[in-house]
Amino acid sequence: MLQWKPADKKAAVCFTIDDIHPSKSTDYYEAGGDLDKGRLGLVKWLLDRHPELKVTLFTTANWREISPVPTRKFLASLPGVRDKFFLAKRYQKDTMNLERHPEFVEFLNSMKNTEIGFHGLYHVHKGLKIPVEFQNQTKEEFREILKEMQRIFNKSGIEHVKGICPPGWNAPNALLDELIKENFDFIASARDIFTPISRDARTNMSGIKGASLIRPEAIKENKLIHFPTNFQANSKVERAKEIINNSGLLSIKAHIVKSVFGYIAIDGVDELYMNYLDSLLTNLKNEYGDSLWFTSMGEISDYIKKNN
């Protein structure tokens, strides 16, 4: 079995946030661009309250999504045709390119206990599932996307790990092959916040199905590490404890954007969710103390590479 945590640790805790990009409250919605004064300020509050906590910010290199749902309703009603069009307006290309937002990059680089991972190139796709960037592309197209995404990260100076959470969770097999060719360490694809917790529970909700629900796992002939997401804002404390009691990885998810055109993200970063995580973490630390490993997906990947 994969050796993924130190022997003296009963279980592990990691925290990841999706959709980080430079949008400000003066744009359509805030996604980190307001720095300390916005949602990242709330994340920093939580990190200050829990100095052992680590966070992975899954960041999009050149965000273009404005609406996650189709607004071109007529086009969207035409089967076949709709798959060939973007069904909502997008940001002009490079508006949110990280290379153009040095202050934002500097702010992310300065955050303590924070690592940056990839969350797609544009975060858009033609057809009905707008945020699901990786769908039916050819392997050559996937390669192009991955290369451009990495080029922007490197050029912008953002410090990052070689891991990705695919927008909308979807990770086709051809994408996994290209990630391996690009030397990625890990992918966080499966989110399952409903399947009951047990040692052998498998993911069965969004993204990769059939992966371990409570542990990182080597996939694709051990060439890539897969991380599940198994906890979010409306999950109960008991679920967290069941994961820990089964010696698993409590993998907590949030999204940086709380509301888009009236669509409210349950796990969007706001005072309420950060307060909930504050009390959850306090509760877990009281009960489990030093037997918990507060870590990150990048750190676990490094550990796995060294110890297997």
Segment 155-194, which members bind Zn ion (CB under 5 A)?
167
The minimum distance between CB 169 and Zn ion, in angstroms, equals 9
The minimum distance between CB 123 and Zn ion, in angstroms, equals 6
Select from 16, 19, 105, 179 the one that contacts Zn ion (CB under 5 A): 19
Cβ closer to Zn ion: 197 or 233? Answer: 233
Q: What is the torsional sign of CA 127, 169, 195, 1?
A: positive
Cβ closer to Zn ion: 19 or 242? Answer: 19
- Burial per residue of 163-192, b for 16 or more beta-carbon CB atoms within 10 angstroms, e otherwise: bbbbbbbbbeebbbbbbeeeebbbbbbbbb
SS (H, E, C) 277-305: HHHHHHHHHHHHHHHEEECCHHHHHHHHH
The minimum distance between CB 32 and Zn ion, in angstroms, equals 13
Question: Is residue 267 a contact point for Zn ion (CB under 5 A)?
Answer: no
What CA–CA distance (Å, rounded) separates 58 from 194?
Answer: 23
The minimum distance between CB 168 and Zn ion, in angstroms, equals 6
Cβ closer to Zn ion: 163 or 167? Answer: 167
Binding part of the chain for Zn ion, among 12-20, 182-190, 240-248, 291-299 by CB under 5 A, reads 12-20
Segment 235-254, which members bind Zn ion (CB under 5 A)?
none
Residue nearest to Zn ion according to CB distances in the complex = 167
Select from 12, 13, 15, 18 the one that contacts Zn ion (CB under 5 A): 18
User: Which residue, among 241, 21, 255, has the nearest Cα to 120 in the 3D structure?
Assistant: 21
What is the residue type of 11? Answer: A
What CA–CA distance (Å, rounded) separates 14 from 293?
Answer: 9
Binding site for Zn ion (CB under 5 A): 18-19, 167
